[in-house]
Chains A and B, each alone.
Chain A
Amino acid sequence: ETVLTQSPTTTAASPGEKVTITCRASSSVSYMHWYQQKSGASPKLWIYDTSKLASGVPNRFSGSGSGTSYSLIISSIESEDAATYYCQQKSSDPPITFGSGTKLEIK
């Protein structure tokens, strides 16, 4: 099983600041997907195939990485970005795994 470790667990940033969320895999994966979940809502696909933005996602979001290290970057935080972000991988064999989540708070 490929374990995904996200860091930080929680972070707080002021509007306009840059935030980086990291997801480290216990073994190499081909690509990473990211989801945004706001309080009381279902998760939404946010970034797929490591760096492609899902429909409607602002371009202040970006994704990068390879092998065992991946990142979700927000270049300039806005209040609407407050949410929990999860990474997810699917290798050729199950199980599909998610990171434990990073809660982003806006100061």
Chain B
Amino acid sequence: EVQLVESGGGLVQPGRSLKLSCLASGFTFSNYGMNWIRQAPGKGLEWVASISSSSSYIYYADTVKGRFTISRDNAKNTLYLQMTSLRSEDTALYYCARYGHGGRFDYWGQGVMVTVSS
């Protein structure tokens, strides 16, 4: 069974940093691209960042480019999102999601909440 379990969220002040993790199991992690997708309270889904299976290709949404860094450790089956210079508008539930064929997100984690507030 595919499982994605996010961790590392919490309350953080504006301008500070936070690092999210996503532990994957139930599939060969090193064979799949991975993503972070967020959802602000009461709002829709927003793609944040993608990383290919070998970390060769990395992409970011314009809203986080230069502030967030996606990375992965295939030996640890773990995806990361380093978030710096956090803003109130970054407050959201952050999901990690596996990249299936054709650019679809075929499995999602349960999400981890990040709240940016003073």
Is the pairing of A and B real?
yes
If the complex has contacts A95-B47, A95-B59, A101-B44, are A33 and B108 also in contact, measured as CB distance less than 8 A? no
Q: How many residues of A contact B (CB 8 A)?
A: 23
In this assembly, does B1 line the interface, its C-beta being within 8 Å of a C-beta of chain A? no
Bound-complex Cα distance A37 to B111 (A): 13
Give the complex CA separation of A99 and B44 in angstroms. 8
What is the CA–CA distance of A42 and B3 in the complex, to the nearest angstrom? Answer: 13
Q: Which residues of A contact B (CB under 8 A)?
A: 31, 33, 35, 37, 42-45, 48-49, 54, 86, 88-90, 94-101
Q: In the bound complex, what is the Cα–Cα distance between A94 and B50 (angstroms)?
A: 9
Q: Is the CB of B105 within 8 A of A45?
A: yes
A49 touches B102 (CB 8 A): yes
Cα–Cα distance between A94 and B48 once the two chains are bound (Å): 10
* Alpha-carbon distance between A86 and B108 when the two chains are bound, in angstroms: 14
Contacts of B108 in A (CB 8 A): 42-44
B14 close to A (CB within 8 Å):
no
- The chain A residue sitting closest to B108, CB to CB, is A42
Residue B45 is within 8 A (CB to CB) of chain A in the complex: yes
Interface pair B44/A86, CB less than 8 Å apart:
yes
Q: Known: A95-B47, A98-B44. Contact between A88 and B59, CB under 8 A?
A: no
